[in-house]
Chain A
Amino acid sequence: MQSRTATRWIELLQLMSMFAIWVFVLGISAWILYLVRLSHRWNDVPSASVGISIVAIPVFVTGAAVLTYVFVGLRRGATPNPGDGEE
């Protein structure tokens, strides 16, 4: 019973870490988009800012997407525990 509780806590921690990664990536993307907006407002070479954002944002999103793919894929690929589903 205790080990099952511990497993639940660990699963919760794992989900929270995935959530944190997406918060980080979306935060950086939002920051980059904000700076692009600033450069437009100040007419301060906005084309360069747009160019950098086109490269940077997909890199962060791809990194997080690969991690999510692994996280979900490992769960789906696991053999079901015989004890699961019996409460």
Chain B
Amino acid sequence: MTSFTNNPGTTPPVDSNFEDAVLLRSVEHPGSQLKVIITLLGMVILGCWVLFGRQILYGLGVTGLNQPVAWGFYIVNFVFFIGISHAGTLISAILRLADAEWRRPITRMAEVITVIVLGIGGVHPLLDQGRPDRMLNIFTSGRLQSPLLWDVTSITAYLMASTVYLFIPMIPDIALLRDRGARPRWLYEFLAWGWQGTPRQHHVIERAMGIMMVLVIPIAVSVHTVISYIFAMTLQPGWHSTIFGPYFVVGAIFSGIAALLVVMIALRKAFGLHDYLKEIHFAHLSKLLLIMSLIWFYFTFSEYLTAFFGNEPSEMRVFHYKFSGPYAPFFWGMVVCNFVIPVLILSFKRTRKIPGILVASILIVIGMWLERLNIVVPSLANPRLPVSTGFYIPSLVEWGMFAGAMATFVLGFVLFSRFFPLICVWEMKEGREKALQETVKRVKSYLPDTSSSQTTVPNSGG
């Protein structure tokens, strides 16, 4: 795999006075391949914009969208990317709140994923418009009662909260880069906000992070619940379900953890972060992934069993369309990718190693994309109204836009790594200096105090 930094073994030497210098290498000594990678990704994105220009010029006729399937790849990708965004802020906030010490090298990457994919996902409804300029009508005559507007509001709120939550813990690292003379100097001066590392400043940062980590959890949950409401609030067969909210949230966390694992494994290899992202981190996250796979299967089973048992004709049309009709390969592919293979790989310690985890995670990302496809298209293809069944085949324009979205995701990460460390340097330092004593103290507090129990007489109730 290509290294994004100069060869770790030769030049430049790692700063011997600074133990985490390897974390800053991508910023201080970016490799020569970086420009090539940025150029290639930029070309893919440019091509994607050309396709979008063509779509604006000729309308949605250049896509595979038609009646009755008026939502296709764009909305599938919208739901998929917003789901992936749960990787970051939610997982990072939960791990921080739970004082999970193994979180330290993971949180930054997770938070970056959130901000990048929220930006990408948020643009997709705009791509789905034949006339994107009409989106401006929401400012003048939007209906706040519509779940579509709830989405606009909640995604904007989540993007803001996630960006704040990413930025605040970055301040000490930005100041470190400023003090080490990283360039462009003005950028680090501007973003460091005068950080000097005084106890008072540490207190301010910790307090702000405490507020944000509590705030982002309900926002993250609400975002995907609200996205599910776009579907569940209609009377379309296959969508009108009371468990769609939690089902979407579970799927989002599931795909988010899988995406995070893929990113961690890729960056570990690309930036030589083997000393920071150890087997133990992957083992912990993969156990979470296994649990989420089982929960996802439980929700999927409940969702389809209810439809099947009700035997309502329009619901059954969608049911058969997925189980044995044109969408059967995608439906069963989803089950295999999200449940069968990951559970087989992740249940056994022998296969629960980095290569196995990578295979399971990639399959889950694909499987969760298929899940979004299985939710969006079959219900539209089999409407409740007495019209003919539709079919949807995405056009090259839609595939091109999908490739552009993936390229934007990778480019976002590459650019972030060029300017900022991918692992929180000050949190690693804090982990070494303080966390060990704190963890010992915390574990002792979980256990019964044997010294006092020997001297205290139990209360007999008298």
Q: Determine the main DSSP class of B at the interface with A.
A: helix
- Encode B178-190 as 1/0 by CB contact (under 8 A) with A: 0000000010011
A70's contact among B143, B157, B186, B205, by CB below 8 Å, is which? B205
> Is B150 a contact of A52 with CB atoms below 8 Å?
yes
Cα–Cα distance between A62 and B211 once the two chains are bound (Å): 9
The answer to whether A67 has its CB under 8 Å from any CB of chain B is yes
Query: Is A4 in contact with chain B by the CB < 8 A criterion?
Result: no
Contacts of B198 in A (CB 8 A): 77-79
Question: Do A70 and B190 have beta carbons less than 8 Å apart?
Answer: no
Q: Are B211 and A66 in contact (CB under 8 A)?
A: yes
Contact A32–B153 (Cβ < 8 Å): yes
For A55, give the chain B residue with the smallest CB separation: B222
Residues of B close to A49: CB separation below 8 A: 144-145
A75 to B141 alpha-carbon distance, docked (Å): 42
Q: How many residues of B contact A (CB 8 A)?
A: 39
Contact flags A41-56 to B (C-beta < 8 A → 1, else 0): 0001100110011011
Inter-chain contact B164/A63, CB cutoff 8 Å: yes
CB of A77 within 8 A of CB of B204, answer yes
Q: Is the CB of A35 within 8 A of B211?
A: no
- Interface of chain B residues 10 through 25 with chain A (CB within 8 A): none
Within 8 Å by CB of B201, from A14, A28, A69, A77, lies A77
Give chain B interface residues in 183-211, CB to chain A under 8 Å.
186, 189-190, 193-196, 198-201, 203-205, 207-208, 211
Say yes or no: A36 contacts B161, CB within 8 Å: no
| Shortest distance between the CB of A3 and any CB in chain B (Å) | 10
Across the interface, which residues of A come within 8 angstroms of B189, CB to CB?
6-7, 10
**B-chain residues with CB within 8 Å of residue A39 when the two chains form the complex:** 143-145
Q: Is the CB of B156 within 8 A of A77?
A: no
Whether the pair A71, B139 counts as a contact (CB closer than 8 A) is no
- B325 in the interface, Cβ–Cβ < 8 Å? no
Q: Are A52 and B157 in contact (CB under 8 A)?
A: no
Smallest beta-carbon distance B224→chain A, Å: 15
A62 touches B215 (CB 8 A): yes
Contact A6 B144 (CB under 8 A): no
Q: In whole angstroms, what is the CA distance A35 to B190 when docked?
A: 36
Taking residues whose C-beta sits less than 8 angstroms from the other chain, chain A's interface range is: 35 or more
A73 contacts across to B, CB distance below 8 A: 200-201, 203-204, 207-208
A16 to chain B, nearest CB (A): 10
Which chain A residue has the least Cβ–Cβ distance from B215?
A: A62
Assembly CA distance A59 to B159 (angstroms): 11
Q: Does A31 contact B (CB under 8 A)?
A: yes
Nearest chain A residue, comparing its CB with the CB of B202: A77
Determine whether the beta carbon of B154 is less than 8 Å from that of A56.
yes
Interface assignment of A13: CB less than 8 Å from any CB of chain B: yes
| Residues from 134 to 158 in B contacting A, C-beta threshold 8 Å | 139, 141-145, 149-150, 153-154, 156-157
Question: Are A66 and B208 in touch, CB under 8 angstroms?
Answer: yes
Contacts of B171 in A (CB 8 A): 70, 74
Q: Does A38 contact B (CB under 8 A)?
A: yes
Interface centre among B141, B150, B153, B215 (most CB of A within 10 A): B153
Shortest Cβ distance from B115 into chain A, in angstroms?
13
Whole-angstrom CA separation of A35 from B200 in the bound complex? 42
B190 in contact with A52 (CB, 8 Å): no
| A13 and B156 contact, CB distance less than 8 A | no
Q: How far is the CB of A77 from chain B (nearest CB, A)?
A: 3
Question: Which single residue of chain A is at the shortest CB-CB distance from B191?
Answer: A14
Give the complex CA separation of A10 and B160 in angstroms: 23
Chain A positions within 8 Å of B, measured between CB atoms, are 6-7, 10, 13-14, 25, 28, 31-32, 35-36, 38-39, 44-45, 48-49, 52-53, 55-56, 59-60, 62-63, 66-67, 69-71, 73-79
Mind listing 22 A-B residue pairs with CB under 8 Å?
A: A6-B189, A7-B189, A14-B190, A32-B153, A44-B143, A52-B150, A56-B157, A59-B161, A62-B211, A67-B168, A69-B208, A71-B193, A73-B203, A73-B204, A73-B208, A74-B195, A74-B205, A75-B194, A76-B200, A77-B196, A77-B199, A78-B201
5 smallest CB-CB distances across A and B, nearest first, come from A77-B200, A73-B204, A49-B144, A77-B201, A48-B145
9 further A-B pairs in the complex, CB-CB below 8 A; given A63-B212, A66-B168, A67-B168? A10-B186, A38-B143, A39-B143, A44-B143, A67-B164, A70-B168, A74-B201, A78-B194, A78-B201
